[in-house]
Amino acid sequence: MKIVIVLILTNLFILLVMRSLNENNAKYLLAGYNTMSKEERENFKIKEYLIYLKKFWNKLLLYNSLLTISSYFFLDELGVVIVYSISLMLPLPIFIYQSNKNFKK
């Protein structure tokens, strides 16, 4: 049970970071955006991107938490960690592809 609590707390921490992101601190917190030149930042749709980013991570963390809790009843601790890791990492290439396609002017 300890492992599930740790994984859920990790999800809550990620959720807290996502909730605290805004246009003012994005240039410090978002990888890639913080290395863009001023001209590149002006050509990037940051408002829309932050909405998309927050929606994506909210859904991902919700489904990940549900999957982690339900896998706890069927698998041992190592299996739960593997399910957690895969369910967290698997959607990221889709996120990267959609981000690159939709948010560059």
Structure confidence at residue 105 (pLDDT): 56
CB atoms within 10 A of CB 40: 13
Structure confidence at residue 91 (pLDDT): 92
Render 11-76 in DSSP notation, one character per residue: HHHHHHHHHH--TTTHHHHSTTTTTS-HHHHHTB-HHHHHHHHHHHHHHHHHHHHHHHHHHHTTS-
> Tens digit of pLDDT for each residue in 17-69?
888 888 888 888 888 888 888 888 888 888 888 999 899 999 999 999 899 89
Q: Mean pLDDT over residues 75-97, rounded?
A: 91
3-state secondary structure of 100: helix
